[in-house]
Amino acid sequence: MPDRRSAPPTGWTVLIPLKPPATGKSRLAVPDRDRPPLAQAIALDTLAAACACPRVEEVIVISSDPSWDLPRGARLVLEPRTTTIDAAIALGLATVSEHAPRAVLLGDLSGLDPADLSEALDAAGGLDRGLVRDVEGTGTTLLTSRSGVRLTTAFGTDSALHHQHLGHADLPIRTASTLRRDVDTVDHLSWRIGPRTTMFVRAAGLPLLQVTAGR
């Protein structure tokens, strides 16, 4: 009998918690007027990449802002008010069957390549719970849970360590993967970024060393 746990699953549900653009990406050292549209551009690039991933069946956005212009393949779970990342994810998970593989993706991966997400989800197929760290190694950009396995999150400072304690194993993802490149500071915009983020950065004339369009 074949080992089903070792086969890459299809039909992943990906949950992405998003703050309203007005309150998102507070660490980006840009003028206040630029922060909301920049945060929105980063999130929309991330959503587009997730929806373009062939391993993903549905993308669920959890936010207290009903005005998100979601791409095809995504749906919104509306929070009554802005809460913590973990609370938002729990709200989204309540709408998803545990009989499907589930993943939590952070919404600030502007330069995400859908192929990199596919690679991670394929690797996650053989694990009960998987984890992808950010490039610094302390944060978490992706969590995965195999069908039938409960998914619990612990985002915040040193989240990778906390997720390890919850049973998430590191997925074999290369250091250069775009899945590790979350945008937290202006310096991070010198990495590969998506088309919406690139357009905004250039139009705003932000002082960057380099801007490289993601797709």
Structural domain boundaries in the chain: 11-213
For 105-117, write each residue's pLDDT tens digit: 999 999 999 999 9
CA distance 137 to 159: 10
**Following CA atoms 34, 35, 37, 38 in sequence, which dihedral angle do they give, to the nearest 10 degrees?**
100
Structure tokens at 53: 């991933």
Mean pLDDT of 150-158: 94
Highest-confidence range of 28-32, 69-73, 164-168, by mean pLDDT?
164-168
CA distance 155 to 116: 22
Pick the more confident residue, 41 or 29.
Answer: 41
Burial 149-159 (b: 16+ CB within 10 A, else e): eebbbbbeeeb
Structure tokens at 127: 């694990």
Query: Per residue, what are the HEC states of 32-76?
Result: CCCHHHHHHHHHHHHHHHHHCCCCEEEEEEEECCCCCCCCCCEEE
Is there a contact between 22 and 66 (Cβ–Cβ < 8 Å)?
A: no
Percent of the chain scored above 90 by pLDDT? Answer: 67
Determine the pLDDT at residue 50.
Answer: 97
Determine the pLDDT at residue 184.
Answer: 75
Determine the pLDDT at residue 172.
Answer: 95
Classify domain 11-213 at the CATH topology level: Spore Coat Polysaccharide Biosynthesis Protein SpsA; Chain A (3.90.550)
Pick the more confident residue, 93 or 30.
Answer: 93
Average pLDDT of the chain is: 87
Q: Which segment of 55-64, 67-76, 165-174, 181-190 scores lowest on mean pLDDT? A: 181-190
Determine the pLDDT at residue 49.
Answer: 97
Q: Among 152, 46, 151, 54, which residue's Cα sits nearest to residue 100?
A: 151
Query: For residue 138, what are the CA distances in angstroms to 26, 101, 104, 156, 192?
Result: 19, 24, 17, 10, 21
Percent of the chain scored above 70 by pLDDT? Answer: 84
At 204, is the pLDDT very low, low, confident or very high (cuts 50, 70, 90)?
confident
Burial 19-47 (b: 16+ CB within 10 A, else e): bbbeebbeebebeeebbeebbbbbbbbbb
Determine the pLDDT at residue 31.
Answer: 63
The total of other beta-carbon atoms located within 10 Å of residue 71's CB is 15
Determine the pLDDT at residue 189.
Answer: 75
Is there a contact between 184 and 116 (Cβ–Cβ < 8 Å)?
A: no
CA distance 68 to 41: 11
